[in-house]
Amino acid sequence: MAKYGARIVIPVDLKKKIEEQKYPFHNRWHPDIPAVAEVKENELFRVEMVDCNGGLIQNNDSAEDVKYADLYGGHYLSGPIRVVDKDGIAAKPGDLLGVEICNLGPLPGDEWGYTATFDREKGGSFLTDHFPCATKAIWYIEGIFAYSPHIPGVRFPGLPHPGVIGTAPSMELLNIWNEREKDVAENGLNSFKLCEVLHSRPLAHLPTAKKCLLGKIPKGTPEWEKMAWEAARTTPGRENGGNCDIKNLSTGSKVYLPVVVEGANLSSGDMHFSQGDGEISFCGAIEMNGFLELKCEIIRGGMKEYLTPMGPTPLHVSPVFEIGPVEPRFSEWLVFEGISVDESGRQHFLDATVAYKRAVLNAIDYLSKFGYSKEQMYLLLSCCPCEGRISGIVDSPNALATLAIPTAIFDQDIRPKNGKVPVGPRLLRKPDVLKCTYDGNLPITNNPAASISM
């Protein structure tokens, strides 16, 4: 008789505080963060995780908690987990780690989540110049479905996924990260990409000991101090996977990650019940506490065999994944086009970021005609299963991006129609909760940065 079911290797107790959990979290990437658990190749195991803000954001009608959140602490990761083969030999640098996501979801008894935009000063979001203040929508999870009291008339099946999943970087990889990010953060002003400097969002999040957690490394020790100022922040996705925020990395997917430290040291966190491509509102998925049930495979020597060198360095590291067989099925989509001409009318050269921004703004404007506020639609497009495509990237000077929205998530017909007044009954159901005051000292219209913003 065989064993079955997933072995729980990292449990989370929601009644305890972040720092009281049995398996200490880490919120940085560093090769020397010690593994807290070990799993065998092909073993099914379960990891539990807290939401990206570690319980800071409450299930209520106020965005105050979001307003005063910051990015120093975020992404409380469960792990690292050391992976060994059936003979107990650890994954080695150069191997490829296949990680199959057999199951995942919210933690039992805790079936809710939230979508938020940070305040402009606190990290902002993709459209921070249009939506500078903190907002929040609560979502309740009913099995595969989610609905929000703050965005009535919408309900959809989720496509849960870990926002963050990655292996530990080697010191070599970590140094590359820190150098290139320091470059953009420090030299933005004098560099060839002036536009970015003027943009009102931080250019990069560099290592800092502020709110740094390094798992089993005791805070305040010399070791912690040294590592804290080296360890990479978790905000961006990088070559080790990390905060890739890929909405289709869902049930049944298998991601192939590079192994660059002994044991692979797999970590995960930032569980999402659902997310739209781009995660545009930044804290933008349906963020939740959750679990993963995983199986690992070690492909010996697979990095060189399968992955691509990352650039001037010969490291083969860019992750690859297979999409799983179970995704919500939608047959009807309404699609919005955006080209790389910004809101001020300025032409950008094949800039997919600007094009996608315009597609999103067009969609928000369109949907707000159906009885919603723009803030509601911004949050919705950030977390519903919408698809963001790079449709054309060669027809200079215009990049063309599209945003496709499954029409079935609305309880009204949102398609253009002859003789139909689009403003529907949702008008009366606009909740006040999302209203907030922007505390920044520059309104968007007078901000020179905004006018030429990305």
CA atoms within 13 A of residue 159's CA, in its CB half-sphere: 23
- Please select the residue that binds its own copies; options are 64, 219, 313, 427, rule is CB under 8 A: 313
What is d(CA 452, CA 129) in angstroms, rounded to the nearest whole number? 10
- The site for its own copies, by CB under 8 A, has a size of 154
120/238 with CB nearer its own copies: 238
Residue 396, Cβ neighbours under 10 Å: how many? 9
Only segment of 15-23, 47-55, 221-229, 349-357 that touches its own copies (CB under 8 A): 349-357
397/443 with CB nearer its own copies: 397
By CB under 8 A, residue 190 contacts its own copies: no
221/412 with CB nearer its own copies: 412
By CB under 8 A, residue 35 contacts its own copies: no
24/373 with CB nearer its own copies: 373
Residue ranges in 357-386 that form contacts with its own copies under rule CB under 8 A: 358, 361-362, 365-366, 369
- Please select the residue that binds its own copies; options are 130, 199, 272, 426, rule is CB under 8 A: 199
What are the CA-CA distances from residue 89 to residues 40, 85, 92, 237, 346 (Å)? 9, 5, 9, 29, 57
206/209 with CB nearer its own copies: 206
**What's the closest the beta carbon of residue 403 comes to its own copies, in angstroms?**
9
**What's the closest the beta carbon of residue 218 comes to its own copies, in angstroms?**
29
By CB under 8 A, residue 288 contacts its own copies: no
Q: Answer left, alpha or beta for residue 282, where phi above 0 means left and psi between -120 and 50 means alpha.
A: left
Q: Which residue has the tokens 């398996």?
A: 23
By CB under 8 A, residue 153 contacts its own copies: no
By CB under 8 A, residue 145 contacts its own copies: yes
Residue ranges in 8-27 that form contacts with its own copies under rule CB under 8 A: none
Of 85, 84, 75, nearest in space to 241 by CA: 75
By CB under 8 A, residue 224 contacts its own copies: no
By CB under 8 A, residue 204 contacts its own copies: yes
By CB under 8 A, residue 140 contacts its own copies: yes
By CB under 8 A, residue 34 contacts its own copies: no
Helix (H) or strand (E) holding 185: helix 171-187
- Please select the residue that binds its own copies; options are 24, 324, 371, 424, rule is CB under 8 A: 324
Q: Which residue has the tokens 């660059």?
A: 260
- All residues at 6 or more sequence positions from 232 whose CB lies less than 8 Å from its CB, including other chains: 28, 29, 30, 169, 174, 177, 178, 181, 207, 238
64/305 with CB nearer its own copies: 305
- Please select the residue that binds its own copies; options are 68, 72, 229, 349, rule is CB under 8 A: 349
By CB under 8 A, residue 111 contacts its own copies: yes
By CB under 8 A, residue 30 contacts its own copies: no
Pair 298, 306: CB distance under 8 Å: no
- Please select the residue that binds its own copies; options are 7, 22, 86, 193, rule is CB under 8 A: 193
- Please select the residue that binds its own copies; options are 337, 374, 438, 449, rule is CB under 8 A: 337
Only segment of 9-17, 22-30, 141-149, 436-444 that touches its own copies (CB under 8 A): 141-149
Strand, coil or helix: 147: strand
Strand, coil or helix: 158: coil
Q: Which residue has the tokens 């059936």?
A: 86
**What's the closest the beta carbon of residue 53 comes to its own copies, in angstroms?**
15
216/304 with CB nearer its own copies: 304
By CB under 8 A, residue 56 contacts its own copies: no
Pair 125, 280: CB distance under 8 Å: yes
Only segment of 217-225, 276-284, 371-379, 442-450 that touches its own copies (CB under 8 A): 276-284
What is d(CA 158, CA 328) in angstroms, rounded to the nearest whole number? 8
- Please select the residue that binds its own copies; options are 170, 267, 398, 447, rule is CB under 8 A: 398
Q: Which residue has the tokens 């609905």?
A: 147
**What's the closest the beta carbon of residue 353 comes to its own copies, in angstroms?**
4
- Please select the residue that binds its own copies; options are 312, 314, 437, 448, rule is CB under 8 A: 312
**What's the closest the beta carbon of residue 444 comes to its own copies, in angstroms?**
14
Residue ranges in 66-95 that form contacts with its own copies under rule CB under 8 A: none
Pair 273, 158: CB distance under 8 Å: yes
Residue count (the chain): 454
CA atoms within 13 A of residue 106's CA, in its CB half-sphere: 21
Which tokens is 185 given? Answer: 């953060």
What is d(CA 25, CA 20) in angstroms, rounded to the nearest whole number? 10
Going by their DSSP bridges, the two strands 45-49 and 254-258 should be labelled as unpaired
CA atoms within 13 A of residue 209's CA, in its CB half-sphere: 13
- The residues that bridge with 294 in the sheet, in sequence order, are 45, 101
